């Protein structure tokens, strides 16, 4: 299951409740607090575009990934949302 990380998605941002990451398994607990459907897509070392289900307004879901040392990009892959700011980077050290 891994370490839990709270994720809030809304128009048009992604907010994490954790800032420091070390290598290991993480479960991103996602809450869509926006009015539009959103998902969480993670790309980086050892993770090839893993995505949560697309969540409707008010829905929640999760995504579990194994993070290695390096940089990861977390974004919403719903068309247009990444370009509007739903894109953050984390570093695993």
Tell me what pLDDT residue 1 has: 75
- Tell me which CATH code domain 3-92 carries: 2.60.40.420
Which residue, chain included where needed, has tokens 């390096």?
70
Q: In the chain, what are the domain boundaries?
A: 3-92
Task: Say what the pTM is.
Answer: 0.96
Number of CB atoms found within 10 A of residue 81's CB? 22
CA 72 vs CA 17, 42, 59: distances in Å: 16, 7, 24
Q: How would you write the pLDDT of the chain (93 residues) with one tens digit per residue?
A: 789 999 999 999 999 999 999 999 999 999 999 999 999 999 999 999 999 999 999 999 999 999 999 999 999 999 999 999 999 999 999
Tell me what pLDDT residue 46 has: 95
């Amino acid at each position: 299951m891994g370490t839990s990380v709270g994720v809030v998605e809304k128009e048009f941002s992604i907010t994490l409740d954790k800032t420091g990451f070390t290598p290991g398994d993480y479960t991103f607990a996602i809450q869509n607090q926006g009015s539009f459907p959103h998902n969480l897509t993670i790309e980086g070392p050892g993770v090839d575009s893993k995505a949560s289900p697309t969540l409707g307004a008010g829905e929640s879901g999760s995504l579990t990934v194994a993070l290695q040392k390096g940089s990861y990009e977390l974004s919403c892959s719903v068309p247009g949302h990444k370009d509007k700011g739903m894109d953050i980077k984390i570093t695993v050290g």
